[in-house]
Amino acid sequence: MNQSKIHDFLFQNVSILDGVGTKTIKLLKKKEIEKISDLLWNFPQGFTDRSNLQTLDKLEIGKITTIKVKVVKYNFPRIRNLPNKVICEDKNGKIDIIFFNSREGYIRKILPLNTSVIISGKINYFKKKYQITNPAYIVPINKEDYVNKIIPKYSLTEGLTEKIYRKLIEQVLKNITDLTEWHNDKILKKIGNVGWSQSIFNVHQDKENNFNSKFHRRLAYDEILANLLVLSQARKRIKKFKKIKKKFNNHLSNKLIRNFNFELTKNQVSVIKEINSDLQSEYKMFRLLQGDVGSGKTIVSLIAAANVIKSNWQVALMAPTEILAKQHYNLACKIFKSTNINIKFLSGNSDSKQKKLIQENLINGKINFLIGTHALFQKNIQFKNLGLVIIDEQHKFGVRQRIELSNKGGKNCDILLMSATPIPRTLVLAVYGDMDISRLIEKPMYRKDIITLSKPEEKIDEILIFIKKQIKNGNQVFWVCPLIEESKKLDYSAAVKKYNYLMKNFTNKVGLIHGGLEKEKKNKVLNNFLNKSIDILVSTTVIEVGIDFPNANVIIIENSNKFGLSQLHQLRGRVGRGINQGTCILLYKKNLSESAKKRIKILKSSNDGFFIAEEDMKLRGFGDILGYQQSGIKDFKLADPIQHQDLFKIAEEDIKSIEYDENNFKKYDFLLKLFDKANIINEINL
Ligand code: ADP
Ligand code: MG
């Protein structure tokens, strides 16, 4: 095949491969495999040794074994639930091949009487007989080489067998051998000096492979490069978007700031400056404001809003949940009280009359500031002159959504995203390379670090005494009973039990929320907690990120040893947001593992989200960290931001020389397409 044919082939639907019918298409789709290239990214999880054909006198129970046997007898019981059985033998013994849920005709076809076959599967022993149940392979003896060897093991789904998958991947591998390399020698040298097709082959067929094999690294590098290229290109395009400059002075914002009952931190002041100069520039702002929970992002964004409104543009602020949006709305109303700025709230729950009025007053420009949930971006919500969009807690956004958003705001609309996901410095570019970044590192002055303690569960009595005292002083308490098993049936019993127990001890001033509650009910409980009609809130880990409960000063986390550092830190961040000292108590069951001890120690010693994120990565690797799943960095199929940190750095350098020359850049079109990135850049248009 010539090059462009190979390219086309890789982007075709899997249905063109031999042996793919509608059923297989459906099953593959479950694994997010639709194009042929998707098959390639499903790397083997390991390898099964089916080599060393055994005779029937040398079988070991429990071992995966390949045998060569003759079919001697069928036993089809024709009674429901009884399996079909085929008796086979070789010179040295007999074995039963057992089939559940099978059809007689099928068995007769693959195991014809009196013929020899190759069978591979796990050896069991039942009623003094060896048997293999639902063997992985049954092939004619001329196909022995296909089975009697070390075979890749893929993560698949029920109904999609290894046999089927192998057949597909082998067709693909056969077709890509002639693909030419796209990297130049200089780059290749830096990443292990192995070509693309060779790497694909090795990863799929050679058992000597892991994250750090040069083949895996080579492919991971490509993925990293594709990501960085797209982000960098996106950034370049966005940077060229001109807009009408926003014109304002500091009168209004200074007045607002004077009314705060606190001083802005130096860090907040400098970030406000950065944002202001973006707003006043003739280029569109596309900025991320990154900062730990409670670092004071919202206030910063509201000052930006004030300036934009002052220059006669409208502002929209979107939060991920209704409660959070409402909280922002209340805060904004308070801050802008002494002004004539018109602020409205909109969510999916707003009634249609309200909605209509809002629509009207947005279009005619009477509303200056709209705060709400995703409902803000419905088609029928149109602004007269939207000048700034602020998105809170945007870790659920990937690059594609960010671009969509940027387009939606229109030509003159600046964009400010806020995120509390602590991404380590080395990776910021790979996740947010399309944006300018401001960071809030300094904490508000008065805010004391949260005191973190750990206690074995047996000492619950001491804890009850402690929280009784806290409640007496007007404080409130979170009590977190995380789901231990992320099981399908979702077991809330621990939380319910604790709720009942606390109800008895705290005269019914306790609330309960968990993922099984309806939204309305959940909101009601949260509101009860907010307005202090209950003192203790028992929950699974679903406490809304970002909501300010200024009176909640104590958080108790059960089974804390089961959780990662970042997750515990996020939970801990729910408290200590007011003026009073916050306390976090980590409960654990006795006999802590070494790593759990380590985690608890780190948490006790630090309140710095970035530090904790890095420690967490060292302990657990990247994939599991809370928030990252949604941060867009999960989009990496092959690259591991911890294992491959050096590759991220190399890619950053290479990008510069690649982008230096437009023609050179064209060479990477195919690479971008391989990782589904090609369209993104074209979607940026204003
Ligand atoms: P974030 O959105 O980063 O989690 P917020 O903006 O919600 O943080 O701020 C958390 C709390 O701290 C709010 O109650 C806010 O009014 C308060 N706050 C913000 N900046 C300061 C500051 N410089 N000094 C004292 N309190 C502050
Ligand atoms: Mg916030």
Tens of pLDDT, residues 116-165: 999 999 999 998 999 999 999 999 999 999 999 999 988 888 888 888 99
- CA nearest neighbour of 553 among 539, 525, 574, 532: 574
298 lines ligand 1 (CB under 6 A): yes
pLDDT in tens, 28-85: 999 889 999 999 999 998 889 999 899 999 999 999 999 999 999 999 998 878 899 9
The reported pLDDT for the residue numbered 46 is 86
Higher per-residue pLDDT: 381 or 308: 308
Query: Is the CB of 296 within 6 Å of ligand 1?
Result: yes
The beta-strand segments (E) located in 192-270 are none
Q: Which ligand is nearest to the CA of 395?
A: 2
Answer yes or no: is the C-beta of 299 below 6 A from any ligand 1 atom.
yes
What is the maximum alpha-carbon separation in the chain? 97
Which position has the higher pLDDT, 395 or 1?
A: 1
How many whole angstroms separate alpha carbon 418 and alpha carbon 616?
A: 22
Residue 630 predicted with pLDDT over 70? no
- CB of 293 sitting under 6 A from ligand 1: yes
What is d(CA 216, CA 553) in angstroms, rounded to the nearest whole number?
47
Has residue 567 got a pLDDT over 90?
A: no
The chain-wide mean pLDDT, for the chain, equals 87
Q: Name residue 139's beta-bridge partners.
A: 118
What does the pLDDT read at residue 545?
Answer: 60
pLDDT in tens, 483-507: 655 554 556 778 888 999 999 988 8
For the Cβ of 409 lying below 6 angstroms from any atom of ligand 1, the answer is: no
Band of residue 95 on the pLDDT scale cut at 50, 70, 90: very high
Give the tokens for residue 559: 């089974």
d(CA 171, CA 75): 36
In DSSP terms, 86 is beta-bridged to 74, 97
Q: How far is the CA of 15 from the centre of ligand 1 (A)?
A: 54
Using DSSP, state whether 504 is helix, strand or coil.
helix
Residue 517: closest CA among 530, 526, 508: 526
Q: Is ligand 1 within 6 A of the CB of residue 573? A: no
Q: Ligand 1: which of 302, 416, 548, 610 to mutate, most ligand atoms within 8 Å of CB? A: 548
Q: State in Å: Cα 568 to ligand 1 middle.
A: 21
| Pair 1, 9: CB distance under 8 Å | yes
For 64, the enclosing helix (H) or strand (E) is strand 64-75
**Could you count the other beta carbons within 10 Å of the beta carbon of residue 392?**
25
Q: Quick check: CB of 577 below 6 Å from ligand 1?
A: yes
CB-ligand 1 contact for 262 (6 Å cutoff): yes
- Residue for token pair 């904004």: 332
Nearest ligand atom owner, CA of 334 = 1
Q: Could you tell me the distance, in angstroms and rounded to a whole number, from the CA of residue 535 to the centre of ligand 1?
A: 23
585 three-class SS: strand
**Least confident window among 173-187, 512-526, 596-610, 618-632:** 618-632
The closest alpha carbon to 373, from 356, 354, 350, 357, belongs to 350
Residue keyed to tokens 């404080």: 475
Distance 363 CA to ligand 1 centre (A): 32
Residues in the chain: 686
The predicted-structure confidence for 415-426, as pLDDT tens digits, reads as follows 999 988 777 666
Q: For residue 248, what pLDDT is reported?
A: 94
Mean pLDDT, range 354-365, rounded to an integer: 94
* pLDDT at residue 269, as a whole number: 95
**Separation of alpha carbons 271 and 248, rounded Å:** 17
Whole-prediction pTM: 0.72
Name the closest ligand to CA 301.
1
Q: Is the CB of 303 under 6 A from ligand 1?
A: no
Q: Is the CB of 260 under 6 A from ligand 1?
A: no
Name residues whose C-beta falls within 8 Å of residue 233's C-beta, 6 or more positions apart in sequence: 659, 681
* 579 Cα to the center of ligand 2, angstroms: 17
Cβ-Cβ contacts under 8 Å for 276 (sequence gap 6 or more): 304, 307
- Residue with CA nearest ligand 1 atom 15: 296
**Distance between start and end Cα atoms, the chain:** 39
Strand partners, 453: 585
Indicate which atom in ligand 1 lies nearest the CA of residue 264: 23
Instruction: Give the relative orientation of helices 297-310 and 322-335 as an angle to the nearest 10 degrees.
Output: 60
Question: What percentage of the chain reaches a pLDDT higher than 90?
Answer: 51
Please name the residue ranges forming H helices in 240-366.
251-259, 266-280, 297-310, 322-335, 352-363
User: Are residues 117 and 138 in contact, defined by beta-carbon separation less than 8 angstroms?
Assistant: yes
Q: Is 347 in the pocket of ligand 1 (CB under 6 A)?
A: no
